[in-house]
């Protein structure tokens, strides 16, 4: 899922400083699961902003609404009625949600209420780690299902750097060395021979370096 | 000659009462509420500024409950739970501690003041601790003054909205 984290109350307040009627929109998908932009988090942010604006003696009419998914027009259209009554919208979705709402309501200022972080997984309660970079050319099959492109600080494809200590990365002692994990995993599934192959330099043309990408699936087009 | 103007307020209007701190104490059923009950049974005196809300566990007190009270102008909130390790639901009080810590950070950032929210841990037998905590909270809030979010007091002579 996409993992995000909340912006500070000070930053949120400054985003809407020029508006008096604002809509806070939560998203019921990834950011609800990562406890950043669901119905509850939008409610808590609303309380904080109401207090902050009241202290500044600036009137604020704040409406809250959470839709199932901010990245799909089918769900965004439910916001139309509420959006018509406000001066600005703050999206508590990921960056995709913010932009999707901005496209749907071109005459309204739409601000991001969260900092979108990465695609990751829940390790334990309230701890998430990055697992996928979205490079567009998945190499997980070669590495026992552990991605060195995302999880190795140096993105090495042909073995560890030699800087790791006690199975952990030299860049961050809390982070396991991806190559240590790859070795252990390949050994466990009896595929250590995969490491004999020399992996050529990665083709990054499938990644985001050339700008926003597009996926078209002809078989599903209507 | 024009008659002298009469004061608009009726002679029977009561003067506004001096400000007294309004404090909510969220008390867990098994420890803090029992301690408050024991304080009452023992006729121990504590300030009447506190209104107790009986919660099944401090872990059930959501951040929204506390924030809503502050938005509505409460002057201070005391969250009273079991001793650490003594929660009847294992770790409800520890979770409440983390939540109150977060709200204290938010209150500081907003400018309401983190001292207006406090969490204490006590057992069912610690009635004197409960009384002392309430007194301390009232003194703290009295020193801070009314909540900056409090609406101006509506006078009886002004009628109801």
- Domain CATH for B127: 3.40.50.960
The answer to whether residue B151 sits within a structural domain is: no
CA distances from A115 to A112, A220, B25 (A): 7, 33, 35
**Chain-chain contact of B109 with A10 (C-beta, under 8 angstroms):** yes
* Number of domains, chain B: 1
Q: Convert the pLDDT of each residue in A24-71 to its tens digit.
A: 999 999 999 999 999 999 999 999 999 999 999 999 999 999 999 999
**Chain-chain contact of A43 with B64 (C-beta, under 8 angstroms):** yes
The answer to whether residue B11 sits within a structural domain is: no
The torsion angles phi and psi of B38, rounded to 5 degrees, stand at -65, -40
The answer to whether residue B95 sits within a structural domain is: yes
Residues of chain A falling short of pLDDT 70: none
B1 contact partners, CB below 8 Å, separation of at least 6: none
pLDDT at B18: 86
Nearest CA in chain A to B73: A51
pLDDT at A91: 98
pLDDT at A166: 83
The shortest CB-CB distance from A9 to any of B64, B109, B148 is to B109
pLDDT at B133 over 90: yes
Q: For an interface test with A, which of B106, B116, B152 has the most A Cβ atoms less than 10 Å from its Cβ?
A: B106
The torsion angles phi and psi of A46, rounded to 5 degrees, stand at -65, -45
User: Closest approach of chain A CAs to the CA of B107, in angstroms?
Assistant: 8
Share of chain A above pLDDT 90, in %: 96
pLDDT at B153: 64
A21 contact partners, CB below 8 Å, separation of at least 6: A60, A61, A63, A85, A86, A87, A88
In 10 A of CB B156, how many CB atoms? 10
Average per-residue pLDDT in chain A? Answer: 95
Rounded to the nearest 5 percent, the helix, strand and coil shares of chain A are 35, 20, 40
CA gap A16, A60 in Å, rounded: 10
B94 by Cβ neighbours in 10 Å (0-12 / 13-18 / 19+) ranks as middle
The answer to whether residue B6 sits within a structural domain is: no
pLDDT at B156 over 60: no
Confidence of residue B157 (pLDDT cuts 50, 70, 90): low
Token pair listed for A157: 């494809």
The answer to whether residue B38 sits within a structural domain is: yes
Q: Convert the pLDDT of each residue in B107-132 to its tens digit.
A: 999 999 999 999 999 999 999 999 99
The answer to whether residue B154 sits within a structural domain is: no
The answer to whether residue B16 sits within a structural domain is: no
Confidence of residue B11 (pLDDT cuts 50, 70, 90): low
pLDDT at B147: 95
Chain A residues with CB-CB distance to B71 below 8 A:
47, 50-51, 54
Chain B residues with CB-CB distance to A10 below 8 A:
109
The shortest CB-CB distance from B110 to any of A9, A40, A44 is to A9
pLDDT at B16: 72
CA gap A95, A91 in Å, rounded: 9
Token pair listed for A191: 């595929």
CA gap A187, A181 in Å, rounded: 10
- What residues make up the domain containing B49? 23-143
Token pair listed for A203: 């083709």
CA gap A78, B42 in Å, rounded: 58
CA of residue A191 relative to chain centroid, distance:
33
Q: Convert the pLDDT of each residue in B17-57 to its tens digit.
A: 789 999 999 999 999 999 999 999 999 999 999 999 999 99
Token pair listed for A156: 């090495």
Spatial contact of B124 and B30, defined as CB atoms under 8 Å apart: yes
CA gap B83, B121 in Å, rounded: 5
pLDDT at B13 over 80: no
Confidence of residue B1 (pLDDT cuts 50, 70, 90): very low
The ipTM of this complex is 0.86
Average per-residue pLDDT in chain B? Answer: 89
The answer to whether residue B150 sits within a structural domain is: no
Nearest CA in chain B to A44: B64
Three-state DSSP state, B52: strand
Domains, chain A, with CATH or none: 2-118 (3.40.50.2300), 133-206 (no CATH)
A16, A22, A24, A25 alpha-carbon torsion, rounded to 10°: -120
- A-contacting residues of B 24-53, CB under 8 Å? none
């Amino acid at each position: 899922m996409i993992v995000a984290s909340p912006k500070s109350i000070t930053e949120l307040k400054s985003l809407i400083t020029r508006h008096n009627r604002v809509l806070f929109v939560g998203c019921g998908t990834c950011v609800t699961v990562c406890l950043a932009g669901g119905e509850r988090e939008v409610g808590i942010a609303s309380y904080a902003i109401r207090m902050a604006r009241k202290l500044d003696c600036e009137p604020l009419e704040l409406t809250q609404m959470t839709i199932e998914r901010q990245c799909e027009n089918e769900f965004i259209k439910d916001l139309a009625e509420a959006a018509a009554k406000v001066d600005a919208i703050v999206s508590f979705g990921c960056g995709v949600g913010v932009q999707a709402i901005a496209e749907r309501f071109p005459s309204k200022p739409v601000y991001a209420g969260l900092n979108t972080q990465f695609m990751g997984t829940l390790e334990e309660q309230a701890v998430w780690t990055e697992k996928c970079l979205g490079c567009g050319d998945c190499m997980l099959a070669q590495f026992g299902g552990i991605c060195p492109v995302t999880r190795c600080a140096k993105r090495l494809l042909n073995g560890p750097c030699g800087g790791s200590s006690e199975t952990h990365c030299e860049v961050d002692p809390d982070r396991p060395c991806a190559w240590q994990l790859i070795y252990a995993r390949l050994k466990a599934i009896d595929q250590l021979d995969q490491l004999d192959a020399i992996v050529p330099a990665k083709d990054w043309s499938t990644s985001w370096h050339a700008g926003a990408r597009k996926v078209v699936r002809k078989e599903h087009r209507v | 000659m024009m008659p002298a103007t009469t004061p608009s307020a009726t002679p029977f209007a009561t003067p506004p009462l001096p400000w007294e701190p309004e404090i909510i104490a969220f008390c867990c059923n098994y420890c803090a509420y029992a301690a408050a009950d024991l304080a009452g049974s023992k006729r121990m005196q504590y300030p009447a500024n506190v209104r107790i809300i009986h919660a099944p566990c401090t872990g059930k007190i959501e951040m929204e409950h506390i924030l809503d009270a502050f938005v509505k102008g409460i002057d201070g909130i005391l969250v009273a739970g079991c001793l650490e390790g003594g929660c009847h639901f294992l770790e409800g009080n520890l979770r409440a501690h983390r939540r109150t810590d977060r709200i204290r950070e938010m209150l500081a950032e907003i400018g309401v003041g983190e001292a207006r929210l406090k969490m204490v841990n006590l057992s069912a037998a610690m009635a004197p601790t409960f009384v002392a905590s309430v007194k301390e909270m009232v003194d703290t809030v009295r020193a801070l003054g009314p909540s900056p979010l409090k609406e101006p007091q509506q006078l009886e002579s002004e009628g109801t909205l």
